[in-house]
Amino acid sequence: MSALGLSALGLASRTAQLQPALYAELANRSPAFDVLTLESGGYTEAGKGAARYVADALADAALVAAHPRFAFTTANSRHFRLLPDAGALSVEQGGATGGGAVDDRDAIQAAIDYAESIEAREVRFEAARYRVECPLRSSPALATRAEDGHPLVVRKSLSLRGCAATRTVLDFRAHGGGDPDTDWQVVAKSSTDATPAVWRGGGLYIQGDSIRPEPAARRIARLELDRLVFNGNRSRTGTYTYPADPVTGDGWDITDKGFWLQDVYVGEVICRDTDFIGWRGEIFYAVGADDAIEQLTLTRCRMLTGNGNGLNLGCDPVVTAEDCEFGDCKIAQEDTGKRRGHFRNCLWRDCEYVWIGGGSTNGRLYSYKYPTRDELAPVPSTQLQDCRFEDCGLVWVNSWVSGRIRTVDTTVALSTTHGQALRDVDLEIDAWLDRGSGIHAFALYGPASLTDPVEGAPAGIYRQPPKSIRAEVRHFRSALAQEAGREWLGILWTGYLDRSCRIQAEGEFGNARSPNGMDDPLSFPFVRFDGGNATTAYTAHGFYKVATLSAAGVLKPAGPAMAVSVASEVDLPMTLPGNPRGGAAYGYADGQVLRIVKQYDTGSVTFTKGASANMAMLATRVLDRAFDWVEFSYNRTLARWEECGFGAYG
The whole-number pLDDT of residue 418 equals 85
User: Residue 214's pLDDT band (boundaries 50, 70, 90)?
Assistant: confident
The whole-number pLDDT of residue 535 equals 41
The whole-number pLDDT of residue 539 equals 47
The whole-number pLDDT of residue 506 equals 87
574: Cβ contacts below 8 Å, ≥ 6 apart? 549, 552, 553, 554, 555, 605, 606, 607
Distance CA 121, CA 117 (A): 11
Q: Is residue 538 within 8 Å of 514, Cβ to Cβ?
A: no
Distance CA 312, CA 279 (A): 13
Q: Is residue 115 within 8 Å of 122, Cβ to Cβ?
A: yes
Distance CA 80, CA 89 (A): 15
The whole-number pLDDT of residue 537 equals 40
How big is the CA angle at 646 (ends 642 and 649), to the nearest 5 degrees?
A: 160
β-sheet with 621-623: strand ranges across = 553-554, 571-575, 604-607, 621-623
Average pLDDT over residues 547-571: 92
Q: Where are the alpha helices (DSSP H) in 255-336?
A: none
Closest CA to 592 of 488, 509, 521, 511: 521
Q: pTM of the predicted model, to two decimals?
A: 0.92
Closest CA to 141 of 260, 41, 11, 269: 260
Q: Is residue 570 within 8 Å of 576, Cβ to Cβ?
A: no
Distance CA 8, CA 28 (A): 22
pLDDT digits (tens, 9 = 90+) for 388-421: 999 999 999 999 999 999 999 999 999 998 888 9
Q: Is residue 94 within 8 Å of 117, Cβ to Cβ?
A: no
Distance CA 647, CA 629 (A): 5
Distance CA 555, CA 115 (A): 75
Residue at 416: amino acid letter: T
Average pLDDT for the chain: 92
Distance CA 172, CA 511 (A): 50
pLDDT digits (tens, 9 = 90+) for 458-484: 999 999 999 999 999 999 999 999 999
Between the alpha carbon of residue 434 and those of residues 325, 442, 482, 650, the distances in Å are 20, 16, 8, 41
Bridge partner list, 410: 393
The whole-number pLDDT of residue 531 equals 67
Average pLDDT over residues 303-314: 95
Q: How many CB atoms lie within 10 A of CB 643?
A: 17
pLDDT for residue 313 is more than 80: yes
How many CA atoms lie less than 13 Å away from 15 in the CB half-sphere?
6
pLDDT digits (tens, 9 = 90+) for 608-647: 999 999 999 999 999 999 889 999 999 999 999 999 999 9
248: Cβ contacts below 8 Å, ≥ 6 apart? none
pLDDT for residue 541 is more than 60: no
Q: Where are the alpha helices (DSSP H) in 362-521?
A: 479-484
Distance CA 357, CA 480 (A): 32
Maximum CA extent, the chain: 135
Average pLDDT over residues 540-558: 82
Distance CA 139, CA 157 (A): 26
Q: Check whether the bond before 634 is cis (ω within 30° of 0).
A: no
CATH class of 544-647: mainly beta
User: Residue 546's pLDDT band (boundaries 50, 70, 90)?
Assistant: confident
Distance CA 429, CA 527 (A): 15
3-state secondary structure 365-397: CCCCCCCCCCCCCCCCCEEEEEEEEEEEEEEEE
User: Residue 31's pLDDT band (boundaries 50, 70, 90)?
Assistant: very high
User: Residue 50's pLDDT band (boundaries 50, 70, 90)?
Assistant: very high
Residue at 169: amino acid letter: V
Distance CA 384, CA 133 (A): 38
Q: Is residue 345 within 8 Å of 393, Cβ to Cβ?
A: no
List the chain domain ranges.
16-82, 128-335, 544-647
